[in-house]
Amino acid sequence: MTPDAPVSALTVPTESPSIAVLDYGIGNLRSAEKALQHVGAQAFLTADATQIAAADAVVLPGVGAFGRCREALAASGLDTVALDAVASGRPFLGICVGMQLLYDDSDETPGVAGLGVLPGTVRRLPAGVKHPQMQWNQLDMVTESPLLAGLGERPWVYFVHSFAAELTQDTIATCDYGGTVTAAAQRENVVATQFHPEKSGAVGLDILRNFVGIVARRRAVDVVGAP
């Protein structure tokens, strides 16, 4: 099977984890799908609730405005599917606006509720710097996480955003952009990156490879009860 071939959640090989990338019609969702395939996952772009429920893990990407993405997610019915996936305990990855959607709300679109998976509000980036941050920047690790393991000291990743989640106890990495900005977060089975790992070169692929490893270990626990 070629990397570009469509993959059904019902036919994924048992030797590599299946990862559903939520297809709610926003931006270039296939870039995340292809990057995950590149690091060994059976990733597939889908809006089918049955396929998503059968996957080993779920990814919620997103680009653009918080309100528009939230509206599209609701219109597709994938907001409920995403919450079900989180509640199931399966690994779940949010990317860029997909990360922001996991929070309670955003200053970008007042009055529009996020998914409320991660407590906190998405705030506008500090004044005095260019908006959006559209550049490579270095990560500063706040706490150890398997998602960011083995990346070396202050790795470079690629950002495109004007808003970011406020600093909370879930923050696992930050960057410096006119102040300290949340770059990645984790709570239980949910991990999220404000930067784009699929656009961050070798470091980004290592992050996605780490996520696939998390998924594989979780599946081993589910299948054989391994510690």
Domains of the chain are 18-224 (3.40.50.880)
Decide if 196 is catalytic: yes
Which member of 33, 69, 161, 196 is catalytic?
196
pTM of this structure: 0.91
Q: Dump pLDDT digits (tens) for 133-154.
A: 999 999 999 999 999 999 999 9
* pLDDT reading at 14 higher than 70: no
Contact at 8 Å (CB) between 22 and 60? yes
Decide if 161 is catalytic: no
- At 222, is the pLDDT very low, low, confident or very high (cuts 50, 70, 90)? confident
Run of H or E residues at 204 = helix 201-224
Lowest mean pLDDT among 9-18, 120-129, 167-176: 9-18
Decide if 153 is catalytic: no
Q: Dump pLDDT digits (tens) for 31-52.
A: 999 999 999 999 999 999 999 9
Q: What sign does the CA torsion over 126, 131, 132, 133 have?
A: negative
